[in-house]
Structure formats: C-alpha cells, structure tokens
Amino acid sequence: MKRVYRYLIVCVLAAAAFSACVEKAETNPRQNQNQQQQGQQQQGQGQQASQKPSDEIQQADQFAKDMFSVYYLWNKEINSDLNRLSPDTCKSPITVVEEIRYHKSGKEVDHWTQLTNNLGSMTSSVQGLGLTYGYELQAGRITNKNGVYFLIVCYVVKDSPAEKGGLKRGDLIMTIDGSEITASNIYDAFNTKSVQLGIAHLTADGYLGPVEKQVDLTAVDMWENPVVVNKTFDIDGKKVGYLVYNSFDVNSLETLPVIFRQFREEGIKELILDLRYNGGGYVITECALASMIAPPAAVAAGEVFQTEVYNSLLTEAWKDEDFNTYFSTTHTFKDSDQGIDINVNVADANPGVSKLYVIVTGGSASASEGLIVGLGPYMDITLVGQQTYGKYCAGWMLSPEHVYGTTSTFDYSKITKWGMYVMVSKFADKNRQNSAEPDGIPVDIKAEDDVFDGYQLGDENETMLKAALKAAGKTYAETKAAEPGKPYRTEFIERDIPRGILIKNGLPAPFDLSSVR
C-alpha cells in the first residue's frame, strides 16, 4: 500500500510540472522551447541514471568479472561472455554468473560456481553451522496422486531437534503444517524456523499409510556433526571398521582422530567408509582423513596425496608455488572470521588398514571423490553403491577483501559481505589422473540406498552396508527379494549448499587484478 501511495504522489507532481510548462508556452514560446529541450535532456539523463545499476551491484559486477577473468578454471572458454557482467548495464550479477559459467556443446559443465551477497552464510553452511532441524531427507513422488509428494528421513544428527523429536531413518513425512506435500511447500521442511510434520508408515502391502502422529520442530543454530555412526564388526576374527561420514567440515578435524585411535586400539584390518550422503567439504579435512587411512609408510614419507591443475594464467603467475597436497601427520586450520583455530596430530591415529571399501551414491561428490582418487594409487579400494556425482574440480571461497587486499584502487566498500565460490582447479592423484572426470567414479559392486528397508545406518542388515560387509567376507542367509512395483519413487532433494569447498591455509598473495581491467 505504501508503494502505491508513493507512486501516486510522484504522478501528481509530474502533472503539476507539466501544467506549469503549458502556461509558460502560451506567454513565451522561445523560452518554453529552450526549457523543454533542457527538460528533455534532464529527463533523459534521469532515465539513464535510473537504468544504471546501483553502486553495490556495479561493484558486484566488477568483482564477479575479475574472478572469472583471473581465478576461474575455464576463464578462456567463457571470456566472450564477460561483457554480460558490465557494471554499466548488468543489474543481476548473481543470475548472470550462473548463466555464463562453463558450458560445452550446450551442456552445463560447471554446476557449482556461484556469486553470493552473503558469504558468511554460505561458509557457515559448508561448515555444518546455522539454523537446522538436523536431518537429511529424500523426496518421493506418489505416482497415483498427481503433484503430491512425500519425504523420507535418511538420517538425523545427534542432539538435533529431529533426534529430540523422535525422528529416525525411514520415517515417512506425509504432511507439512497439516497440508499435503506439494512442489509449493516441500522446501518448508528445510527453509523455515518451525514446522509440523505428519508421520506415516508403509502398509503391509507396501503402500503409504495415513498420518499417525504429528511432530513439531523448531530449528536451532547448531553444528551438525558429520559423524553419524562409527563401529567395528567382527567377521570371522577379522576386525572391520565402519564410519558414516557426511561432510568434510573443519570442525570434525578434532573428532576424526579420536575415532581412528579407537579403530587402531580395536585392531581393525579393513575399513568401510560410508560417504553416500557426503557432498564434499574442506581439503584439509579430506587430507587429514586420508592420512589416517593411507599406508603409514606413505604418510611418514609425506608422499603426494593430490595434485591440482589451474588455468594457464594462474599456472604462470604461481609457477613457484607448490599446490600439491601431501599426506601428513599434522593438520592446522585457522579462520579468524569464523573463530576457528584447530591443530591436530594424527601420528597415532592410523590403524594401518589393508583394504578400503567406500559406500557411494550420486550424492557423493567433490572431496569424497577426491579422497577416493587420491588414495587410489596407494590402496586396494572397492566401491560399493552407485556411480558418484562427478564433481572433479575444486573451488575457493573468495571475498573482495582477500582478492583485492588493502592497497587496491578498486572501491569494494559496498560489497564487503559478498563473495564468490569459484571453480579454480581440477584435482588429480599423484599421477595426475582423475577417475571422477567427467561423470563420476563407477562402482565395483552395485547397491541401492533403500531407505525403506527398515534398518538404521550401522545395522548389518541395512542394504548398502550389507553389500559392503558381504564384500569383506561376511555371510548372510539367503532372503527373498523385495517385490517390485511399489506405488512411489524416491529422488534426492538438491540443497543450496555448494558441493566441495577447497580452502587452504596460506593462499597465495592477492593477484594483481589491475592487469585484467
């Protein structure tokens, strides 16, 4: 209502000014002609001014353009599109960044580079921080009810609202705030501060039953511990460790060594690493985990875990930099903005496993794939599940302050909260090979993530873990296969969290961006 009222006032004032011009035209035509010409010029200038982006957007345009020009892995391939980020004309840089990131033959190759006006929020999300209900959900479509969906709980985080509300893997959510789940309200299960969920179960014949109870949840600001399950199985005297790990966040740097020391004390010989829901994270955490799994001799020798390949501009500018990542027993991460100062030593946390099984799905991406790729030359690895996502490149979270420094002539005062997640390199193993490119890593043993199987993560009968345990030598009694044709199908819900953040300590000094202006 206020917008309409203000618009009406502007119209009335414009009409009054037009009436005054008409009166003067009747008394002094030449004077009025000059005034009309001046007025038209001023009006044209005003229209141009109104069409020009705001100072904030102009700075964001230039920032995004510079990031694409300098840091972007495919900077040459998209060079002709950079004029779309002109500060004089581009009013929607966030959208344009998504549109011009790298495509090949009409297919979008880069799904991940993005510009944000809230870098702190994006960084917190990747670190597992922020308002959350503490669960992971899959979406399902009811095939005999057009446009109606359900949600199913994949797992819940310890001490989260979801856990305290009694939710568990396999719970079916049929309503949100008392309404059927549709495309218009399905994300209320993620993007709200409070929600009421209607829980149902499958009927004996495999159909979705009616709502049996309501669960009220209020989101809290918490760290979602990515370690969901860790335990040890005994297979005919052979100890096999099992770890469900859902994000390579930096806070778990201190948690993982504790778990692997326990694995070492229990004498595990093989390890099942469950990354089915792990979309990536920080390379330092990836390297720390790899250093607890790799052969101790390779870690002690500080051998190459991963290599990185950059665009030609950065390759030349940083030719004296060593961007290999090495196995190490010490790992340090500091971020004053986030209040993080972590120092861990994993020298006594490597159990010396001889065989690694990794459970993966299409939800396993980036650092998950990087771990598999980097360990490949050193270990016997069997992949169980479904082909991985195929994010074979790594990105940096770049802020204007970092890339321009304090001596830049570019005014970025309006975009201090902005940032860009930029794909900067391809990761590879020590031999510069990457089996995740271009479409993900194929598996050795196929298995589906059947959230309907009735078992919790860590139960030896859970479908994907069962397949991995069988590969490790555990025997199971034969069971009748489940009847096909259930009246629904499930699919992953894409979350607004970038897959695979690569952040290192001691990034190179800010590049001299004046040369690309």
Whether the pLDDT of residue 386 is over 80: the answer is yes
Give the pLDDT mean for 7-33.
29
Query: Which of 83-97, 312-326, 351-365, 377-391 bottoms out in mean pLDDT, i.e. has the lowest?
Result: 312-326
Q: How far apart are the first and last CA of the chain?
A: 44
pLDDT band for position 509 (50/70/90)?
very low
> Taken in order 107, 82, 124, 306, is the CA torsion positive or negative?
positive
How far apart are the C-alpha atoms of 151 and 175, rounded to whole Å? Answer: 9
* Least confident stretch, 130-139, 191-200, 306-315: 130-139
* Cβ-contact 218, 160 below 8 angstroms: no
Partner residues linked to 139 by β-bridges = 151, 491
- Distance CA(401)–CA(408), nearest Å, equals 9
Class of 55-129+223-477+496-517 in CATH: alpha beta
In three-state secondary structure terms, 513 is helix
Question: Rounded mean pLDDT of 124-139?
Answer: 77
- For 164-227, the three-class secondary structure string (H helix, E strand, C coil) is HCCCCCCCEEEEECCEEECCCCHHHHCCCCEEEEEEECECCCCCECCCCEEEEEECEECCCCCE
What does the block give as tokens for 254?
């201190």
Higher per-residue pLDDT: 144 or 266: 266
Q: Give pLDDT tens digits for 390-444.
A: 989 888 888 998 888 777 788 989 999 999 999 999 999 999 999 999 889 999 9
Q: In the structure, what pLDDT confidence band is assigned to residue 508 with cuts at 50, 70 and 90?
A: very low
The neighbouring-strand residues paired with 414 are: none
The pLDDT of residue 307 is above 90: yes
Question: Which three-class secondary structure state does DSSP give residue 35?
Answer: helix
Looking at residue 485, what is its pLDDT?
A: 57
CATH 3.40.50.300 holds for 131-222 = no
**CATH 3.90.226.10 residue ranges for the chain:** 55-129+223-477+496-517
Burial status of residue 39 (CB atoms within 10 A of its CB: 0-12, 13-18, 19 or more)? middle
pLDDT exceeds 90 at position 469: yes
Least confident of 6-15, 158-167, 216-225: 6-15
Mean pLDDT, to the nearest integer, of 439-465?
95
List all residues 6 or more positions away from 455 whose beta carbon is below 8 Å from its beta carbon. 169, 170, 461, 462, 463
Letter string b/e over residues 81-92, b meaning 16 or more CB atoms within 10 A of that residue's CB: ebebbebeebee
Task: With cut-offs at 50, 70 and 90, classify the pLDDT of residue 482.
Answer: low
Average pLDDT, the chain: 83
Quick one: pLDDT at residue 306?
Answer: 94
Residue with tokens 């994949």: 154
- CATH 2.30.42.10 positions along the chain are 131-222
Chain segment 269-300, per-residue pLDDT in tens? 999 999 999 988 888 999 999 999 999 999 99
Residue 267: predicted pLDDT: 97
pLDDT (0 to 100) of residue 74: 96
pLDDT at 397: 85
Question: What's the pLDDT score for residue 124?
Answer: 66
pLDDT digits (tens, 9 = 90+) for 49-63: 558 899 999 999 999
